[in-house]
A = this chain, B = another copy of it.
Amino acid sequence: MSNKSKKQKVLPDEGVNFALKKLKDGQKGRDGSVENVLKKVQKLEAIVKSRPSRRKTLKDLNMEDLYREVLDRPETEIAAAIEQLMLAVAKSIMDGNGFAYQLPSRGQNDQVYIDQLNRIVLKNKSTSAAFTNMSSVRKVTILTRVMQLVHGVLSKGIHVTKRDLFYTDVKLFKDQKDSDAVLDDISCLLGCTRNSLHVVASEKGVVVGRLRYKEDGDDIDCTKMGVGGKAIPSNVDKVTELRTDAKFVLLVEKDAAFMRLAEDRFYNKYPCIIITAKGQPDVATRLFLSKVKRELKLPVLALVDADPYGLKIISVYMQGSKNMAFDSANLTTPDIKWLGVRPSDLDKFKIPEQCRLEMTAKDIETGNHMLKEDFIQQNPDWVKEVEIMLKTKTKAEIQALSSYGFQYLSEVYLPLKLQEGDWI
């Protein structure tokens, strides 16, 4: 060990003892019970619970004419909407006018962040795509064919993947990109979410903890899912009847941290629901988190790497990716609290120098870019953290906490964070 302490500011034990002392100091005069540790979480939970259940819509803001977003709609309604659209097309053709679709514009200039909604929506702008126009005939044909296929899927009440769709008419679609691209157009055209079209993405998320729900009729108890957890389904509309006695949702960036918390059954002591998408959030996990937050009204605390990429992951959960702006109300989860690992934690928790990594030029570029984003700018505490990151040019992974022992995360770091209400 002696050859380690030279370059290192603190000895590992020093860092552990410091945090343990803080944890105990915070419990002075109290009994150190879980209830005491969770006092600040419960305050946050009360605030979240007191908010109106329904999220604000464009209608509430009287902005319906200016902007556009889509809604989750039942399958019969979407099937009927497709039939209506096709009747209109048939009539237009029989009237001798040919036919065209009014497609919502979805370019970068059409994506707007609305402060009051805390999400990105689309400007209400359309372009006409006519069957009789050489430049749009192919797109209009593909659009019509995909709508026919979606209608079939909806009628059967099943779910399919984009790849399945592509293979039903390879000759027409030629490239999967071509059949994929029109799906978003159809969502916007029908004013419904991608999920409502029953075309789903593959799943990679996992959930464990104090959550019970029905999945396609099966009763799922996420406290009884062993150490591997329950796979989050692609078709989130089959998830119903959510029940919980959790006080918060712990959103974890990485599989390794999830595994640690699941094996230690962290949720038994600290009542929570633990969710991870194992890296970059997929659509299914984002829909699942959004549903959990909306229906159970729990605070969501995020545990991500202390680097621009970790922040990016929170941003995808919070405000969605820009190219699916029209679906942001269903895909996004507003008001996620940044619990850790935050740039300021590195000094606060005395993370040893050698567990900190130097940011690459690319990291710094991404960091500078993030700093300018609306969702960072509106939270001064977040701005401060990103500034620390960029000033010190230092990043760290959640796993860096392992330098104090493999269970430091579940037994010291998280309890202390919760006890101090140390989220922003």
Instruction: State the A residues within 8 Å of B (CB).
Output: 4, 7-8, 152-153, 156, 158-161, 163-172, 200, 202-204, 206, 214-220, 224-235, 238-239, 255-256, 259-260, 263-264, 278, 352, 354-355, 397, 399-403, 405-407
Contact = CB atoms under 8 A, between A and B. Distances in A.
Contact of A355 (B167, B232, B238, B256): B167
Q: Among A238, A255, A259, which residue has the most Cβ atoms of chain B within 10 A? A: A259
Given A226-B216, A228-B203, A407 B171 contact: no
Which of A163, A214, A239: most chain B CB closer than 10 A? A163
Given A399-B167, A406-B164, A228 B225 contact: no
So how many copies of this chain end up in the complex?
Answer: 2
Contacts of A206: 231
11 contacts: A202-B278, A204-B204, A206-B231, A214-B226, A215-B226, A225-B230, A225-B231, A226-B238, A228-B231, A229-B233, A230-B230
Given A218-B225, A225-B218, A403-B170, A161 B234 contact: no
A204 B255 CA distance: 10
Given A161-B255, A220-B224, A227-B235, 16 more contacts: A4-B169, A7-B171, A158-B406, A159-B259, A163-B399, A164-B256, A164-B406, A166-B399, A167-B400, A168-B402, A171-B354, A202-B255, A203-B228, A217-B226, A219-B224, A225-B231
Nearest to A162: B256
Contact of A263 (B228, B235, B256, B354): B235
Contact of A220 (B160, B217, B226, B399): B226
Contacts of A166: 399
B224 A163 contact: no
A167 B260 CA distance: 14
B163 A256 contact: yes
Contact of A231 (B156, B168, B231, B400): B231
Given A167-B402, A397-B163, A259 B202 contact: yes
A221 to B, nearest CB: 9
Contacts of A259: 159, 161, 200, 202-203, 234
